[in-house]
Structure 1
Amino acid sequence: MAGDKDIVAHEVGLDAGAQDDLDMERMGKVQEFKRNFKFYSIFGLTTTLMASWESILLTAAYGLTDGGRAGMVYVYIASFVGFFASVVSMAEISSISPTSGGQYHWVSEFAAPRYQRFFSYLTGWLSVLGWQAAYASICFLCGTLIQGLLVFNYSGDSGYVYGFERWHGTLLTIAIAAVGTLVNTYGAKFLPPLEGVILFLHLGGFVAVMAVIWGMSSGTQQASGYTVWQEFTNSGGWSSVGLACLVGQLTPIFSWTGPDAATHMAEEVQNASFVVPWCMVSTALINGGLGFIMLITFLYNMGSLEAALGASSGFPFLTAVQHATGSVGATNGVAAIILIMEVCSAIGILATASRQTFAFARDNALPFSRSLAHVNKRTQIPTVSVLVSTIITVLLSLINIGSTAAFNAVASVMIAALFTTYILSILAFIRARFQPGGIPRSRFSLGKFGLAINVFSVAYLCFAIIFTFFPTTNNPTLVSMNWSILVFGVVVIFAIVQYLVHGRRIYEAPVTQVRKEQ
């Protein structure tokens, strides 16, 4: 099999470049990018893209409302176990097929022939739209964080009171999107070394925030061990605390969004079939650990739960840090670090979104595929895909002027869309395990535990995706309702219609290009 050929080639001493060429040849793809990323730089991109410890603070309101302190602790641990199983499952698949196409390529290669074309096309659309929504979401989050800081600093007894306007958030979203675009176009050649610097900032920022919170907090202000580890909350009014905790898992889920980012950059990574899977695993472990430490720090030092949830800024961590440090300046400093890291995350998300769009267009699956799949010969980046991704974010941000709830519904579809692609690709891989000859050998293997880990990861993802559609509180209003299930349904229907009208005629399924030895 082709996988055996890969391993044999590796074992006889092929260098990284030859191994990459062999992998691309097996998948039937032409190398169009320059492989500028090594382990450290791609690790920097994926680690800061997920920005787990930063996201824990930014999205704490979900977990505090549904589950409270203790709920956040145990849900985080349980969610990480399921999440990590999903990551290592996809890491093994990425080692076999290290392509920018990622999940839709894997479904095409490993699903049953009768269904692979349709489900591959569906997976591709969900992945493309999921990553586009992710870019819009991160830019909007940065914009609203700036607005939250203005509210935090200019309200109450201050001489100037900031008036929170939705159109301000839209303009700030567009500004953040513009920054990401400039770095991914004019600064593209500097992106690999820049990601190494950003990784240092990600780790250094974590240390700085920890030092500020613990160093300036007083023991008398901290919560007791009982409060943190045993006090659950059901502020959302659910039928039980257990259900509340399950709804509150949105906090850790948001903080782990995008573990597949490395594979969408695979065609720009040296020694990709080895580096990409280990980068995915390392990112999950490092970010999972940092996120847990930050979570415990936040819960011990946040002060009153009611005060945090009632923060006028909309971000409980601002109130929490001010309570811990007693300083507005220190709180602004912590927020500035987080804002910088989230902007850096936006840079990585745009790079990933554009490569996923490029890959799907390369297989003639999107409208205007020829333009979207074009790689600039001078910069060696898919410039059109980068610009289109930015334009989509700008257009989506305009929705916020009319309704923030409507924008959030569109942006939050990224989780359900991406989770669905993970489920479909791992299911296809499970099916391949039972075929004659099994799965191709890979340079990253789960061995005899692979099947059990794959099954467990699919079970977790199917369970978790259900709660991404829940509102934060029981009996929600039209405004507080989580409309993402409606948007997700529209996206799925749109993809199916696209397949019937467009895809089944001209979509070039990746499996048709994969080369296998007789």
Structure 2
Amino acid sequence: MSDRDISKTPDVYHDFNHDPVTSLLVEAPASDHSMDADELALVALGYKQEFKREFSLWTTFSLSFAVLGLLPSFASTMSLGMGYAGTAGMVWGWIIAMLFIQCVAAAMAELCSSMPTSGGLYYAAAVLAPPGYGPFAAWLTGWSNWIGQISAAPSVDYALAAMILAAASINNPSYVPTRYQTFLLTTLILIVHTAISSMPTRWIAKFNSYGSVFNILALFITIIAIPTGTLNVPKFNPSSQVWGDIYNGTEFSDGVAVLMSFVGVIWTMSGYDSAFHLSEECSNANVASPRAIVMTAGIGGVVGWFLQLVVAYTVQDIPGIMSSNLGQPWASYLLQVMPQNTAMAILALTIICGFSMGQGCMVAASRVSYAYARDDCFPLSRIWKQVNPYTTTPVNAVIANGVLGILMCLLIFGGSTAIAALFSIGAIAQYVAFAIPIAVRVFFVGNRFRRGPWHLGRFSRPIGGMGVMFVLLMLPILCLPTTVGSDLTAEGMNWTCLVYGAPMFAVTLWWVIDARKWFEGPKVNIEHEIYNTTFDGVPSSETVVYT
């Protein structure tokens, strides 16, 4: 405990019975240079500045929006939204899911404003958890987030490779891509993304800024081009059909089928946390980073719904799209409603956007890996947490993620069901990681939470609570197969429980057997006290000093 006289600084330190939970330092450490507001905020959280702050609000939003990748995300998950519940599921499902996803994003932004570190949700879970549970909360949050993050780039790059090969099949109908060719092309894309993500922060920021601008332009071009270039007669389906007819591609009730279609929305809308992980490289981070989170989720939600509407009003034969020999529903849909040349142009735009999206996913994942390696969570963490002196970026972490991504893509040889597991992980792992610190903040910390300059005011707890309830509802829904009973086969099985549950069970068992003995949560690199006062003479939590 510090011997500082708390009463001398009434603007910061008050009676803890009425004061929010804080992760601020009692005293700033000595420094050989003057620190700006961003560095002071990071020091208050227990870390020293190691990255250059060359991301702005715009470039942070650009990378988050690139990771979101509405156009390639929709193209990659079209079989989930349209295939499970048809057009009614697309338009209604997107609206319902997005209302709750906005709650999750807003609650996350509030955490980011209070604790703008690259560890993000993992750090927040450690700080906010009840006494004695901080390390375990951080352990579960960190591993779930990391699993979701490292699977993002491989899943996006696999979908990108599938679209490229589908384009080749359209131009040459006799060409049928093999699994080996799909794997090699996916591997090549992952290697390119690894190289770009190892560049200096300034270059990455510019690359993703250009990519985000292209993503936005391509999205609007697509939304305009489809209804104007469609060959349908009449051009649009009647509203009663679009909003009322459910093409149920499952053996469950229509209501459950609509809920199952949320997996496409959730997977698409899981990139907004990238701004949290880039906060140590962003200027004015405790304002710009949460704004970038909310902007990404809000703009992505509205524009994404317009894309859903355009497709829902023009699609003609959903079963034909789902069973097309191209193996890529987006390409099949474009050929169904547009002339081939126009369809190929839109497909080309989607491919370029997909490349930008995969690049953003690789950058975000590398920052998460770096943050967790910095706290010695992984074997050989001393290697993965190194910052390259020339690029000032975590090159080793980028390379490790690239290698893991290539290994994950070996699932391609197991068939479509096996590789689809990557998308399942992206949906369920990320939102579990999102929900844990939000739930702790809402149900355990309550009004003792020390807000940052961006916050939700009196709506903070209700909004966060609705977000957590939504995630709890979707956990079993995301694990349902499309068929049941005697119709259920290994090919039609939903392997999410195994692909996500097995590694999470393993890390939980690791915690019980060994990790709880040495893992103490975020190991900050300057002296730091997470809690520093008492409740009526009783410590409010164990005083944890990290050095």
1:18 aligns with 2:28: no
* In structure 2, C-alpha distance between the alignment counterparts of 1:122 and 1:197, rounded to whole Å: 35
Deviates more, 1:255-264 or 1:218-227: 218-227
Query: Which among 468, 477, 481 is matched to residue 489 of structure 2?
Result: 477
1:467 aligns with 2:469: no
* In structure 2, C-alpha distance between the alignment counterparts of 1:66 and 1:276, rounded to whole Å: 35
Alignment of 1:210-289 (within 5 A): 210-218=223-231, 220-238=234-252, 240-289=253-302
Superposed CA offset, 1:202-258 (max 9, x none): 1111122123212212551421111111111213222x2111111121221221122
Give 3-state SS (helix, strand or coil) of 1:399's partner: helix
* In structure 2, C-alpha distance between the alignment counterparts of 1:441 and 1:205, rounded to whole Å: 38
Aligned position for 2:5: none
1:38 aligns with 2:56: yes
Alignment of 1:137-176 (within 5 A): 137-155=155-173, 161-176=174-189
Aligned position for 1:96: 114
Aligned position for 1:129: 147
Equivalent position amino acid for 2:179 in 1: R
Query: Which among 445, 450, 471 is matched to residue 460 of structure 2?
Result: 450
1:351 aligns with 2:366: no
Aligned position for 2:321: 308
Aligned position for 2:540: none
Superposed CA offset, 1:303-348 (max 9, x none): 22222222221222223222332x1111111111111111111111
> Would you say the 8 A contact 1:364–1:506 is kept in 2?
no
Give 3-state SS (helix, strand or coil) of 1:454's partner: helix
Equivalent position amino acid for 1:34 in 2: K
Deviates more, 1:25-34 or 1:245-254: 245-254
1:66 aligns with 2:84: yes
Give 3-state SS (helix, strand or coil) of 1:234's partner: coil
> Would you say the 8 A contact 2:442–2:465 is kept in 1?
yes
Aligned position for 1:199: 212
1:329 aligns with 2:345: no
Equivalent position amino acid for 2:218 in 1: G
> Would you say the 8 A contact 1:26–1:514 is kept in 2?
no
TM-score, normalization by structure 2: 0.87
1:498 aligns with 2:516: no
Deviation (angstroms), 1:477: 1.6
Aligned position for 2:30: none
Deviation (angstroms), 1:462: 0.9
TM-score, normalization by structure 1: 0.92
* In structure 1, C-alpha distance between the alignment counterparts of 2:353 and 2:509, rounded to whole Å: 38
Equivalent position amino acid for 2:111 in 1: I
Larger radius of gyration: 2
Report the structure, 1 or 2, having the larger helix content: 1
> Would you say the 8 A contact 2:71–2:215 is kept in 1?
no
Aligned position for 1:11: none
> Would you say the 8 A contact 1:363–1:508 is kept in 2?
no
Deviation (angstroms), 1:430: 1.4
Give 3-state SS (helix, strand or coil) of 1:509's partner: coil
Deviates more, 1:381-390 or 1:461-470: 461-470
> Would you say the 8 A contact 1:34–1:380 is kept in 2?
yes
Superposed CA offset, 1:58-92 (max 9, x none): 31221222221112111110000010000000000
Give 3-state SS (helix, strand or coil) of 2:490's partner: coil
- Percent same amino acid at aligned positions? 25
Give 3-state SS (helix, strand or coil) of 2:36's partner: helix
Aligned position for 1:182: 195
Deviation (angstroms), 1:17: 6.8
* In structure 1, C-alpha distance between the alignment counterparts of 2:200 and 2:38, rounded to whole Å: 25
* In structure 2, C-alpha distance between the alignment counterparts of 1:118 and 1:237, rounded to whole Å: 39
Equivalent position amino acid for 1:486 in 2: L
Deviation (angstroms), 1:410: 4.6
Deviation (angstroms), 1:377: 1.5
Equivalent position amino acid for 1:448 in 2: R
Tell me the matched-pair count: 500
* In structure 1, C-alpha distance between the alignment counterparts of 2:319 and 2:332, rounded to whole Å: 11
RMSD after superposition: 2.1
> Would you say the 8 A contact 1:69–1:229 is kept in 2?
yes
Q: 1:276 to 1:368 in 2, by over 3 A?
A: same
* In structure 2, C-alpha distance between the alignment counterparts of 1:94 and 1:126, rounded to whole Å: 18
1:290 aligns with 2:303: yes
1:400 aligns with 2:418: no
* In structure 1, C-alpha distance between the alignment counterparts of 2:471 and 2:435, rounded to whole Å: 7
> Would you say the 8 A contact 1:43–1:279 is kept in 2?
yes
Deviates more, 1:34-43 or 1:482-491: 482-491
> Would you say the 8 A contact 1:53–1:290 is kept in 2?
no
* In structure 2, C-alpha distance between the alignment counterparts of 1:47 and 1:367, rounded to whole Å: 32
1:47 aligns with 2:65: yes
Any stretches of 5+ residues in structure 1 without a counterpart? Answer: 7-15, 156-160
1:487 aligns with 2:492: no
* In structure 1, C-alpha distance between the alignment counterparts of 2:327 and 2:228, rounded to whole Å: 25
Aligned position for 1:12: none
- Structure 1 runs of 4+ with >6 Å offset: 2-6
Equivalent position amino acid for 1:444 in 2: W
